[in-house]
Amino acid sequence: MVVSKVKYEQLRQQRMEENKKKLEQLHLPLLSQALQKAALSPKTSPMKKVKPRTIRTELVPVRRSGRFTNKPAPQYKEVVFYERVQLPRSTVHPKRDLSNRVYASDEARAWAIEKAEKLESTLESGYPTLVKPMLQSHVTGGFWLGLPSHFSKRHLPKRDDTVTLVDEQGDKWRTIYLARKTGLSGGWKKFSVDHDLVDGDALVFQLIQPTVFKVHIIRENGFTEENSHEAICDS
């Protein structure tokens, strides 16, 4: 038994030596070492730069809905944006007590308009004029005074500007004229409050300069029953 074991060990050792020589002949040990090194420090290969494919280009008509195919292309117009005009801040006026609003009667309103038109007829014809009866929206709440569009487009600035109101005593109030809305905004409230304007009053505006109105005020409270009878007799 001992002899056979020794013999077996000799044969196994001999085969191992033979196998080792064969591996060395094939350079397998060196290849194994190279693979181990590569695994420990991998290196990425640079990516190739791919040139984009050149696609043929050509001009083609823009697709349009079938409803518009045979219709002419849209036409565009120039839109003007106006710079906003602002007045310097002034003293804040206390709010009016709207519970004491004055509501003019139809007779008083008509009388004030008639008086204003008579006054208008006596003014110099060289200056454009207009008569503006006062409503609640002009003298309470919103304080916005819209002017006739035909008058504004013909005589007033084409863009937002400052318009000065001069009363019968020569005192001046600056207001903001909005060209697109053809009316007076900022500053009109101060003029209205300072002159205690109420519903039914009638104002005559006389444009004495491109941006200056002379303002004449006809009070609705000047109407009386006697005035009503006089108006009937005159008619």
Q: What is the pLDDT along the chain (235 residues), one digit of tens a residue?
A: 555 767 788 888 888 888 878 777 776 667 777 777 766 665 555 666 655 555 555 555 555 566 666 666 666 555 555 555 666 655 555 555 555 667 888 899 999 999 999 999 999 889 999 999 999 989 987 789 999 999 999 999 999 999 999 999 999 999 999 999 999 998 999 999 999 999 999 999 999 999 999 999 999 887 765 555 454 445 4
Question: What domains are defined for the chain?
Answer: 106-223 (2.40.330.10)
For helices 2-25 and 28-40, angle between their N-to-C axes, nearest 10 degrees = 70
Contact 227, 218 (CB under 8 A): no
- pLDDT score for 232: 42
- pLDDT score for 159: 94
- pLDDT score for 68: 60
- pLDDT score for 17: 86
The model carries a pTM of 0.57
